[in-house]
Amino acid sequence: MKRLNDFQKAQIKLTFHYFLINFFIIAIASMIAIFIEQRFILQTLDPSKIGSVVQPNHLSLRENFREVHRVFVQRVLIFDFFLVLISAAAGYFMSGRTLRSIKEMMQKQEEFASDASHELRTPLATIQMEIEATRRTEKKIPSVYDKLLDSIQEESKRMTNTVSGLLTLVRSDTEEYRKEFDLAGITSQAIKQIKASSEAKKITISAKDLENAPVFGNEDQIRQAVLVLLDNAIRYTLDNGAVTVSTKSEDSKSSFVISDTGVGIPKDDWSKIFERFYRVSNRQINDQQRTGLGLSIAKKIIESHGGTISVASAPGEGSTFTINLPRHS
Ligand code: ADP
């Protein structure tokens, strides 16, 4: 079965809330109706009001009224049952209407961000190409201009990273590409992809405990989240450090754990690093081209799959990031 999207979940939640309110109103209205009916019967049966003429029939009158009361309560309950059903259906319809305009507004925002990111990518790529071309054609560039070109190139690379990160963040989730795959498999692939940067810093990546870990989801997106954590582990670990990666499966969830012997993260920043553009300044690390978007992208991907991502770290000792994902849809 296809996973329910956020709006469907919100619609069901809202329907439930409408239903609860309606249920209480119907219950209170019915209790008042029964109370009034009972009072009416009691008043009618009051001997002082019935008078002496009907006295002989008083007992059978009482029986009749008891029967009338039983039928009345029965009808009220049947009526309530249908009213509750109608109110649930109306609640579902109304919550759908309420959420539709919010959904449309969010879609428009996402489209705008997506279009803007697309539009920005082309000029940024052109700037980078032109710098490359200038470097190739001009034999001797004065050092002052060379430095300027370096700085423009670095900034445009950082902008390109930011723009593609934003594009990933706003792109809607593609649920139709979800299937079952092994977390251990994509971890091995991601390690291969990152090999060059770990070798450049002489960082060892140990992946001895890659146990079979089935996950249901979008394989490309989860690989991207794993790559963000691997890339960060290498980037924020000094030369000759170590990174350990493991995967395993337990009950209904599969997990991916990555530990490094890097610079670490102060406790106050643990939750903030998952926010967009939040960065912890690291004097020991050259991170000029970083965007502060990697972990927010990873978080969005993992949470859209019904999973969790968390961190534990000790500054100067290292960090451990854990991803938990449901095994099934
Ligand atoms: P970026 O790496 O582009 O700055 P991220 O969202 O990936 O953005 O990370 C946010 C911040 O979290 C980084 O600036 C860095 O300070 C910190 N961080 C992430 N991973 C690690 C890690 N493994 N070790 C130490 N710090 C980390």
pLDDT band at 195 (very low <50, low <70, confident <90, very high): very high
Whose alpha carbon is nearest atom 8 of ligand 1?
292
**Taking the CB of residue 195, how many other CB atoms lie within 10 A of it?**
12
Rounded mean pLDDT of the chain? 88
Q: Candidates 163, 169, 236: which one to mutate for ligand 1, based on the most atoms within 8 Å of Cβ?
A: 236
Q: What is the pLDDT of residue 2?
A: 44
282 compared with 314, residue with greater pLDDT = 314
pLDDT in tens, 125-153: 999 999 999 888 887 888 888 889 989 98
The pair of structure tokens assigned to 89 is 């259906």
- Say if residue 308's pLDDT is above 70: yes
Q: Is the CB of 184 under 6 A from ligand 1?
A: no
Residue 71 CA, ligand 1 centroid: distance in Å: 70
pLDDT in tens, 21-68: 999 999 999 999 999 998 888 887 776 665 555 555 566 777 888 888
Please check whether residue 191 is in contact with residue 245, taking contact to mean a CB–CB distance below 8 angstroms. yes
- Rounded CA-CA distance 71/54 in Å is 24
Least confident of 6-20, 34-48, 75-89, 270-284: 34-48
pLDDT band at 187 (very low <50, low <70, confident <90, very high): very high
Q: What is the pLDDT of residue 8?
A: 84
Whose alpha carbon is nearest atom 15 of ligand 1?
280
Q: Is the CB of 229 under 6 A from ligand 1?
A: no
- Rounded CA-CA distance 7/92 in Å is 12
Residue 281 CA, ligand 1 centroid: distance in Å: 9
Q: Candidates 281, 295, 296, 310: which one to mutate for ligand 1, based on the most atoms within 8 Å of Cβ?
A: 295
pLDDT in tens, 95-130: 998 888 888 888 888 888 888 888 888 899 999 999
Q: Is the CB of 224 under 6 A from ligand 1?
A: no
Q: Is the CB of 315 under 6 A from ligand 1?
A: no
For the entire predicted model, the pTM comes to 0.71
pLDDT in tens, 199-221: 999 999 999 999 999 999 989 88
Buried/exposed 124-160: b ≥16 CB within 10 Å, e otherwise: beebbeebeeeeeeeeeeeeeeeeebeeeeeebebbb
Q: What is the pLDDT of residue 116?
A: 86
Q: Is the CB of 292 under 6 A from ligand 1?
A: yes
DSSP characters over 10-36: HHHHHHHHHHHHHHHHHHHHHHHHHHH
Q: What percent of the chain stands above pLDDT 90?
A: 53
Q: Candidates 232, 299, 320: which one to mutate for ligand 1, based on the most atoms within 8 Å of Cβ?
A: 232
Q: What is the pLDDT of residue 3?
A: 47
- Say if residue 177's pLDDT is above 80: no
Q: What is the pLDDT of residue 65?
A: 82
Q: What is the pLDDT of residue 323?
A: 98
